[in-house]
């Protein structure tokens, strides 16, 4: 069973640009969640998509957005990048039912210069 | 709001010894799940063990066990027979079921474990 695939693994962008990150969940999983990890703030929840609908949202500005496609793949977009957006972005896949079963990808490390 | 506290920023243990990583949580929900993840320097979050709030037995997964004390709201991870490959950051996390939090995970600050030969 293939795991959660995040692309790209590394990304360097300039302040003011926008970026799109991709996450392919485990086959059959309908829920995809996104997390931001920084040394200062730790791991913070961005949003969750389930069957193409945003089901839950964290406390991030509107520059952070996402979507989910019919095949459950999800993309996350950050517009007007700031230096503080430099982080490891992790995607987690789950069946969306019950309490168990989050599987994380290897993450995308974004550096904003 | 739910909160996870890990009070040990760093821990050291000798190879082959056991180590306990502390985790306390705060929630008003009756139904919740507690997780431990391992994050090596590569960045991937690796699932270790899960404990449901209604589970009567402490969870075990190989060398990992979870010491769940519901009344004290603690969910400590015990790693037996430590190996050099166990050196990593360890995160305790909680998922609440329903309510305004939906299905998000709330993470603690993490504990950096170093296993010495």
From chain A, the residues in CB contact with B48 under 8 A are none
Q: Is B86 helix (H, G, I), strand (E, B) or coil?
A: helix
pLDDT score of B101: 47
pLDDT score of B1: 73
User: pLDDT tens-digit profile of A23-50?
Assistant: 999 998 988 999 999 999 999 999 999 8
pLDDT score of B56: 85
Joined together, the tokens standing for residue A86 give 């430099």
Q: What value does the mean pLDDT of chain B take?
A: 92
Terminal-residue alpha carbon distance, chain A: 37
Closest B-chain CA to A103: B47
From chain B, the residues in CB contact with A88 under 8 A are 43
**Is the pLDDT confidence value at A97 over 70?**
no
From chain B, the residues in CB contact with A58 under 8 A are 104
Are B45 and A90 within 8 A, CB to CB?
yes
Which residue has tokens 């082959």? B16
Q: How confident is the model at residue B92 (pLDDT cuts 50, 70, 90)?
A: very high
Least confident window among A18-22, A96-100, B54-58, B98-102: B98-102
Joined together, the tokens standing for residue B79 give 């790693």
What is the arithmetic mean of pLDDT over B8-13?
97
Nearest to B107 among A43, A48, A96 (CB): A43
């Amino acid at each position: 069973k293939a795991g959660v695939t995040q692309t790209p693994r590394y990304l360097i962008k300039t302040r003011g640009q926008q970026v799109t990150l991709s996450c392919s969940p485990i086959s059959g999983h309908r829920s995809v969640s996104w997390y931001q990890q920084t040394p200062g703030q730790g791991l913070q929840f961005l949003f969750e998509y389930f069957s193409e609908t945003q089901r839950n949202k964290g406390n991030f500005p509107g520059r952070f957005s996402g979507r989910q496609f019919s095949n459950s793949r999800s993309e996350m977009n950050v517009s007007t990048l700031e230096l503080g957006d430099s982080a490891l972005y992790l995607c987690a896949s789950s069946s969306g039912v019950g309490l168990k079963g989050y599987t994380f990808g290897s993450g995308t490390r974004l550096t904003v210069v | 709001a739910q909160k996870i506290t890990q009070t040990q920023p760093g821990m050291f243990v000798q190879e082959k010894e056991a180590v306990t990583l502390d985790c306390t949580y705060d929630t008003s929900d009756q139904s919740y799940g507690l997780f431990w993840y391992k994050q090596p320097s590569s960045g991937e979050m690796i699932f270790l063990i899960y404990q449901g709030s209604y589970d009567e037995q402490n969870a075990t997964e190989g060398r990992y066990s979870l010491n769940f004390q519901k009344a004290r709201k603690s969910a400590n991870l015990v790693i037996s027979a430590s190996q050099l490959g166990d050196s990593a950051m360890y995160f305790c996390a909680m998922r609440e079921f329903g309510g305004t939090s939906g299905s998000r995970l709330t993470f603690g600050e993490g504990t950096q474990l170093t296993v010495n030969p």
